[in-house]
Amino acid sequence: MHVKFVVAAEALFAGYALAVPTATQQTKRQTGVEEYIASESPIAYQGVLNNIGPDGSGAQGAAADFYTWTRDSGLVFKELGDAFIAGDAALEVHLQNYVTAQAELQKVSNPSGDLETGGLGEPKFHVDMTAFTEEWGRPQSDGPALRAIALITYANHLIGSGQTEQAQNIWPLVQNDIAYVTEWWNKTTFDLWEEVEGSSFFTAASQHRALIEANALAAALGQTCEGCEEQASQVLCFVQDFWTGSAVNSNINTQGNNRAGLDANSFVSIIHTFDPEAPCDDVTFQPCSARSLANHKAVVDSFREGYGVNQGIEQGVGVAVGRYIEDVYMGGNPWYLCTAAAAEILYDALFQWAKIGTLSITDVSLPFFTDIYESAAVGDYAADSEEYTAITAAVKEYADSFIGVLQKYTPKDGSLAEQFGRDDGTPKSAAHLTWSYASFLTMIARRGGIVPPTWGAATGNTLPDQCSGASGKGNYAGPATVSWPSA
């Protein structure tokens, strides 16, 4: 049994030296984005696989001072689930091992508590699945929601392919994570960057999605999702509080922090709550919504001045994007995954406009559009109009220009670290970050029109008559060991 199945978030080779290209090498390699996509895609795919499971080359013999984060794992396995459903059959064994490992991990007592007292909100564990007991920003309440979303993706596939019994084995794990969400959604958490204590847009948006999907899964399995529907609309109500009128303020209810609020937290949220069947809905911050596009401009512009690598790049052309401009962690640099998310939002939006057949520009989104298409004006543009063709071409070009930034700062060997230097563009911080590779892959999939299954955003966007912060009492039970027919 593959119990030690984890996502190692950092490079696991002791003494691994990162190849850093010289400026000349980088310039020589600068070709079209298509070539970069072709060369980087297999590297990114292998980069993810190297860091997961007992067989991953990076995970083998991993020492106890390497870690697995519930968030990174949830996001990566959600993506692997989507890729599996889209046709990559070889990934199924990894999904099964992930489920098996999470059934054990949920039971590991840790400084956040045990299964029934908040332990699911523990952000990270040693890769040997023992608790990490040093001081850390805990709890991080996005983890259970993200794990539930990843588990549900695979469970839905099992139901769809007639393997409902296997899906039933996944339900107890989902039920625990959802019990945590219903109980903890209105309590203070650390944000996804593990720094600010308060309320995080990413956390709340992920929790809303998890509740909607868990409710539907319960119905399909003849199970009960205690309080999920009511809580989902309350969490969605709370999500609205992060909108300032012109952008997302990613961290609210904090005990004082020095940030203006513009943060790639919102980008990561928007790509992970993208629903290919939803309209351009502001309430769920769909990628093509006016809110999302206004926020896109505000966040991207916040990085134009401060980074040396962005100097001289005009408005309307993609730049390097970091977590938030006030960041100082490891030098406060741009991040590969944040720059990729800036592009991915736009590919998602292009998919939505094409599906809906109309592109609407409102007062709120107009400044986004005028940056990339000077004569943009408020209005609705049908897919067969000249304006639609021209505006969507400009959006595509803009999205591709963020890939151009990634291309410029990807070292010759194609490896993706966590960050790249704000002034010199060289890789920084954790090498071979699983999440960096995964973010490249989802960006490229969306660019190619490959989208994940719907999560129900089109109908799960109802706000309650009255907002309330009341939480539910979760129903936890230690999951049984999960094994698979073929294992």
Q: Give me the active site residues, please.
A: 191, 194
Among 84, 201, 381, 435, the residue binding ligand NOJ under the rule CB under 6 A is: 435
Instruction: Name the segment binding ligand NOJ (CB under 6 A); options: 192-200, 244-252, 380-388, 439-447.
Output: 192-200
CB of 347 to ligand NOJ, least distance (A): 22
- Contact yes or no for 112/119 (Cβ under 8 A): yes
User: Minimal distance in Å, beta carbon 439 to ligand NOJ?
Assistant: 11
User: In whole angstroms, what is the distance from residue 198 CA to residue 169 CA?
Assistant: 34
Q: Which residue is nearest to ligand NOJ (CB)?
A: 9
Distance of CA 97 to the CA centre of its chain: 21
Subset of residues 7 to 26 that bind ligand NOJ, contact rule: CB under 6 A: 9
**Which residue in the set 6, 20, 33, 192 belongs to the binding site for ligand NOJ (CB under 6 A)?**
192
The CB-of-124 to ligand NOJ minimum distance in angstroms stands at 7
CA distance 377 to 357: 18
For ligand NOJ, give the closer residue by CB, 349 or 406.
Answer: 406
Please give the backbone phi and psi of residue 437, each rounded to the nearest 5 degrees, phi first: -65, -45
Closer of 40 and 418 to ligand NOJ (Cβ): 418
- Distance CA(304)–CA(1), nearest Å, equals 49
Candidate segments 172-180, 188-196, 451-459, 472-480, binder of ligand NOJ by CB under 6 A: 188-196
28 alpha carbon, distance to own chain's centre: 32
Contact call for residue 197 and ligand NOJ (CB under 6 A): no
CB of 195 to ligand NOJ, least distance (A): 7
CA atoms within 13 A on the CB side of 75: 29
Min separation Cβ 207 and ligand NOJ, Å: 17
Least separation in angstroms between CB 436 and ligand NOJ: 9
CB of 433 to ligand NOJ, least distance (A): 6
Task: Give DSSP secondary structure letters for 58-109.
Answer: TTTT--TT-EEEHHHHHHHHHHHHHHHHTT-GGGHHHHHHHHHHHHHHTT--
Task: Spell out the alpha helix ranges (H) of 86-200.
Answer: 92-105, 142-160, 164-184
**Distance (Å, whole) CA 192 – CA 252:** 13
340 near ligand NOJ, rule: CB under 6 A: no
Print the binding letters for residues 56-85 with ligand NOJ: x by CB under 6 A, - otherwise: -------------x-xx-------------
Select 124 or 291, whichever has its Cβ closest to ligand NOJ: 124
Q: How far is CA 420 from CA 122, 140, 152, 344, 400, in A?
A: 28, 26, 34, 19, 19
Toward ligand NOJ, which CB reaches closer, 168 or 429?
429
Tell me which amino acid residue 402 is: F
Helices and strands (H and E) in the chain: how many? 14, 9
Residue count, binding to ligand NOJ (CB under 6 A): 8
Alpha-carbon Rg of the chain, whole angstroms?
A: 21
**Which residue number, 34 or 65, has a Cβ lying nearer to ligand NOJ?**
65
The nearer residue to ligand NOJ, 9 or 290, going by C-beta atoms, is 9
Q: Minimum CB separation from ligand NOJ for residue 438, in Å?
A: 11
Stretch in the footprint of ligand NOJ (CB under 6 A) among 16-24, 45-53, 189-197, 233-241: 189-197
**Cβ distance to ligand NOJ smaller for residue 111 or 404:** 111
Cβ proximity of 3 and 423 under 8 Å = no
Name the one residue in this structure whose structure tokens are 């890729």.
Answer: 83
Nearer to ligand NOJ, 13 or 224 (CB): 13
Strand-by-strand arrangement of the 251-252 sheet? 189-190, 197-200, 251-252
Could you tell me which stretch among 25-33, 150-158, 191-199, 447-455 binds ligand NOJ (CB under 6 A)? 191-199
Residues in contact with ligand NOJ by CB under 6 A are 9, 69, 71-72, 192-194, 435
